[in-house]
Amino acid sequence: MNTPPPETIMVDTRRVSCDGASAIRGGDNYRPAALGHPRIYLEIDEHGYVDCGYCDRRFVLKGGPADGVDQASLPDISEGADPGHR
């Protein structure tokens, strides 16, 4: 049994950045993230998704092979690790 990623973000480009704190909602109970993590840049490969090695956010390319797939069924790809080229 695989665990789904904690957060999945659909993107339009293959190159994405993540700092662990962006895209956090505001509102009455809003508290900004204390630290996040260093901003890193990730490249989505032929699998159609990439995982952040710091916060485990998954970035899925819209219209790519991983779009519409059960995210819990996909192997983790952390910063370019090879999931076995399924």
Say how far apart CA 16 and CA 41 lie, in whole Å.
6
The better pLDDT of the pair 26, 6 is held by 6
Q: What is the pLDDT of residue 28?
A: 62
How long, in residues, is the chain? 86
Q: Write down the pLDDT at residue 84.
A: 53
pLDDT of residue 62: 95
pLDDT in tens, 11-56: 999 999 998 876 555 556 555 556 678 889 999 999 999 999 888 8
